[in-house]
């Protein structure tokens, strides 16, 4: 059982990695994912302590990967290594630490190992749910503005754009040419079909329907037809 003292210590160590101003990957994302992962884990009968520790630590190296230009840095892999150091230094048993680290390594949608445990699946689903729905719309806007992109770009040849600006592993080549609606078309639209748990799927379907409606509407408003 995770005590309040251990929980506070893990948050204290994790907080130094998370910005208060980054809505996409900062503290507020971590808090939302932690709540959603615990909710999914409760419905799925998972070990909530493993889920909570993994959720708090899952993106500690995200900022470093996105902003440091260190070649080969993968936040799910190197973040899991740092999480292992943090949990070990706090006296967390190695069996618990390894289960938490697997969740962190397997939380990314494009790379990394498949989630093998129910806890890893719950974290994966909660993290992906944060990309869609009303929250997904706000997040997509923050990410676009963060990278100096337009929010909405009319693109008639989606396949041609994909060949030019998206690598085979799904990562973006030139962020400045991307936009929220292109991210939605090429990646976020598929999120609901990629979740692992039944609870995650139910929530994802609802959120995806809202996001679908939003982008359809924003496209029409931009064209001036609605």
**Quick one: which of 39, 49, 52, 59 contacts Fe ion (CB under 5 A)?**
59
Pick from 96, 93, 65, 97: which is nearest to 79 by CA? 65
Per CB under 5 A, the segment of 64-72, 125-133, 177-185, 217-225 that binds Fe ion is 125-133
Query: Please, what is the minimum distance in Å from the beta carbon of residue 91 to Fe ion?
Result: 26
Closest to 218 in 3D by CA, of 210, 157, 143: 210
Give the list of residues 6+ apart from residue 92 with CB closer than 8 angstroms, or none.
6, 53, 100
Applying CB under 5 A, the span of 12-20, 120-128, 131-139, 182-190 interacting with Fe ion comes to: 120-128
Burial of 151 (0-12, 13-18, 19+ CB in 10 A): middle
Binding span for Fe ion by CB under 5 A among 9-17, 96-104, 119-127, 137-145: 119-127
170: left (phi over 0), alpha (psi -120 to 50) or beta: left
Instruction: Answer yes or no whether residue 119 interacts with Fe ion by CB under 5 A.
Output: no
Considering only residues 39, 49, 127, 183, which one is a binding residue for Fe ion as defined by CB under 5 A?
127
Please choose, out of 34-42, 55-63, 175-183, 204-212, the segment that lies near Fe ion by the rule CB under 5 A: 55-63
Query: What is the CA angle 34-39-41, rounded to 5?
Result: 90
CB of 5 to Fe ion, least distance (A): 25
List of residues contacting Fe ion (CB under 5 A): 59, 127
């Amino acid at each position: 059982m995770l005590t309040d003292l251990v929980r506070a210590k893990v948050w204290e160590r994790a907080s130094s990695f998370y910005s208060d101003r980054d809505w996409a990957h900062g503290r507020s994302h971590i808090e939302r994912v932690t709540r959603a992962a615990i909710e999914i884990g409760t419905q799925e009968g998972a070990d909530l302590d493993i889920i909570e520790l993994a959720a708090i630590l899952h993106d500690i190296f995200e900022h470093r990967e996105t902003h440091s230009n260190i070649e080969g840095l993968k936040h799910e892999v190197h973040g899991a290594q740092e999480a292992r150091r943090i949990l070990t230094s706090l006296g967390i048993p190695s069996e618990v630490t390894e289960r938490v680290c697997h969740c962190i390594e397997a939380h990314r949608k494009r790379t990394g190992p498949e989630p093998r445990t129910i806890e890893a699946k719950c974290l994966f689903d909660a993290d992906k749910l944060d990309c869609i729905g009303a929250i997904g719309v706000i997040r997509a806007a923050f990410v676009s503005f963060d990278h100096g992109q337009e929010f909405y770009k009319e693109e008639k040849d989606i396949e041609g754009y994909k060949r030019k600006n998206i690598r085979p592993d799904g990562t973006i080549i030139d962020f400045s040419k991307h936009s929220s609606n292109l991210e939605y078309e090429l990646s976020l639209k598929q999120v609901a079909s990629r979740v692992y748990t039944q609870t995650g799927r139910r929530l994802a379907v609802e959120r995806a329907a809202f996001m679908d409606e939003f982008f359809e509407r924003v496209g029409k408003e931009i064209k001036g037809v609605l």
